[in-house]
Homo-oligomer: A and B are copies of this chain.
Amino acid sequence: MAKKLSNRRKFLKNSAALAGGLAAGATQSANGQMPEKYIKGSDDLVAYGQRSSFETAVRESHGRPHSPDAFGLVKHVATPIQESVGVITPSALHYVATTRGHYVPDIDPNAHQLMIHGMVDRPLSFTLQDLKRFPSVTRLHFVECAANRPSIGAKTITESHGLTSCAEWTGVLLSTLLKEAGVKGSASWIIAEGAEEVKGTSSIPMAKAMEDSLVAYGMNGEAVRPQQGYPLRLMVPGFEGIFNVKWLRRIKAVDKYWMTYNDYGHLRQNDVDAALGYTIGPKSVITFPSSGQQLPDKGFYEISGLAWSGGGAIRRVEVSTDGGKKWKDAQFVGTPQRMAHTRFTLPWTWDGSESMLLSRCTDELGKVQPTRVQVAKFFGIPVDPSYRVPGRDNSIQTWRVASDGSVHNAYS
- Interface size of A by CB at 8 A reads 122
Contact B221 A115 (CB under 8 A): no
- Give complex CA distance A90, B195 in Å: 26
Contact B334 A138 (CB under 8 A): yes
- Give complex CA distance A33, B193 in Å: 12
Give the distance to chain B from A291, nearest Cβ to Cβ, in Å.
18
Contact B49 A58 (CB under 8 A): no
Q: Indicate if A231 sits at the interface (CB-CB under 8 A).
A: yes
Q: Indicate if A133 sits at the interface (CB-CB under 8 A).
A: yes
Interface segment, one of A10-18, A313-321, A354-362:
A10-18
Copies in the complex: 2
Closest to A197 in B: B38
Contact A2 B170 (CB under 8 A): no
Interface segment, one of A81-89, A152-160, A371-379:
A81-89
Closest to A91 in B: B49
Interface residues of A in 269-327 (CB under 8 A from B): 296, 299-302, 304
Interface segment, one of A39-47, A142-150, A255-263, A400-408:
A39-47
Closest to A16 in B: B122
> Interface digits, A89-107 against B, CB 8 Å rule (1 contact, 0 not)?
1111110100000111111
Contact B222 A57 (CB under 8 A): yes
Interface residues of A in 314-367 (CB under 8 A from B): 333-335, 343, 345, 347
Complex partner residue of A37 from B5, B106, B225, CB under 8 angstroms: B106
Closest to A221 in B: B88
Known: A41-B73, A41-B74. 7 other contacts (CB 8 A): A2-B176, A15-B130, A22-B123, A35-B108, A51-B230, A52-B225, A129-B296
Chain A residues in the interface with B (C-beta under 8 A): 1-2, 5-6, 10-12, 14-16, 18-19, 22-23, 26, 29-30, 33-35, 37-41, 45-55, 57-59, 61, 73-74, 77, 83-94, 96, 102-113, 115, 117, 122-126, 129-130, 133-139, 168-170, 173, 175-176, 179-180, 193, 195, 197, 210, 217-218, 220-223, 225-227, 230-231, 247, 249-250, 296, 299-302, 304, 333-335, 343, 345, 347
> What are 18 A-B pairs with beta-carbon distances under 8 A?
A2-B179, A12-B180, A19-B123, A23-B123, A33-B250, A41-B103, A45-B227, A46-B59, A49-B91, A49-B93, A50-B92, A54-B108, A85-B221, A86-B218, A86-B221, A88-B221, A93-B222, A136-B345
